[in-house]
Amino acid sequence: MSLAAIDWAQPWLAPYRAIGESAAHAALHTTTVAAALQQSAAPGFSPVFAPQLDLPAGLAYEAHIFQTGTVPTRDNLHDFFNGLVWLAFPETKRRLNELQAAEIARRGIASTRGPLRDALTLFDENGAVLDAPAALWKALAARDWHTLFVTQRALWAKARLLVFGHALLEKLTTPRKAVTAHVLLPAPGAVGLSVPDDRALARSLDAEYLAQKPFAPLPVLGVPGWWPDNASVDFYDDPKVFRPGP
């Protein structure tokens, strides 16, 4: 899949459009993905985007970023979107990297990541953040899709969904009904999550809480205004995508 296939008019790309459109053009026509991302960064931005060859054999990717302040970057959609998220939400990405590196230092690299690194990777790759009225949160947690998207549909005018995961952004380059995000649930006692407040989101990422994998599945093309077909109630009558709660 080429960077030329990205449809920058899609609503999930709104937080990334200003930087991403010009960076994609540069990567397609004049330079590498790493160089295009670096050119789009503000002066003094850290980390630095570097070619994938800069990653030494045998060194964990997250540990390398933490130790060197460089992000190994391939010329593909996946790493392009990873770089865009770094540029748009640097505090959050740095916090994820800090937690990953600390866990690698503590536990080493094993055949399994462990619960915390699993959760960090899941959020980094496929996560989303929702700022919404309480009624929508309740319906989402219960996987009550009819309430979430039909009965309470008008409340989405007061909600904001941020697609954070770079693999999720890559999947949405070719939108399919089944594409599902893992939405980060606010910690108990928290008033919610502010989208897209990078600093507040970074502060909310607590290792002990994340290790519990506090996520709710959300088929993102069900969000009102995000896909034309969901204007019909029948769109949600698909138990293979909008699966009932446990």
Give the residue from 90, 112, 134 where a domain finishes. 112
Prediction pTM value: 0.94
To which H or E segment does residue 71 belong?
A: strand 70-73
What's the confidence (pLDDT) of residue 47? 94
Assigned domain for 155 exists: yes
106 in Cβ contact with 198 (< 8 Å): no
3 in helix, strand or coil? helix
Assigned domain for 3 exists: no
Reduced 3-state DSSP string for 210-225: HCCCCEEEEEHHHCCC
What's the confidence (pLDDT) of residue 191? 58
81 in Cβ contact with 125 (< 8 Å): no
182 in Cβ contact with 215 (< 8 Å): yes
Cα(218)–Cα(188) distance, integer angstroms: 20
What's the confidence (pLDDT) of residue 28? 93
Give the model's confidence band at 150: pLDDT under 50 very low, under 70 low, under 90 confident, else very high. very high
Q: Which two tokens stand for residue 207?
A: 């290792």
125 in Cβ contact with 168 (< 8 Å): yes
- In this predicted structure, which of 106-110, 133-137, 175-179, 204-208 has the lowest mean pLDDT? 106-110
What's the confidence (pLDDT) of residue 159? 96
Q: Same structural domain for residues 226 and 160?
A: yes
Asked whether the predicted pLDDT for residue 133 surpasses 90, the reply is yes
pLDDT digits (tens, 9 = 90+) for 166-217: 999 999 999 999 999 999 998 876 656 677 789 999 999 999 999 999 999 9
Cα(179)–Cα(153) distance, integer angstroms: 20
What's the confidence (pLDDT) of residue 34? 96
pLDDT digits (tens, 9 = 90+) for 86-98: 999 999 999 999 9
Assigned domain for 244 exists: no
pLDDT digits (tens, 9 = 90+) for 26-80: 999 989 999 999 999 999 999 999 998 877 777 789 999 999 999 999 999 999 9
Give the residue from 59, 91, 112 where a domain finishes. 112
The total of other beta-carbon atoms located within 10 Å of residue 241's CB is 18
Domain interval for residue 179 = 123-236
Asked whether the predicted pLDDT for residue 108 surpasses 70, the reply is yes
Assigned domain for 241 exists: no
Beta strands, E only, 4-110: 48-51, 70-73
Assigned domain for 188 exists: yes
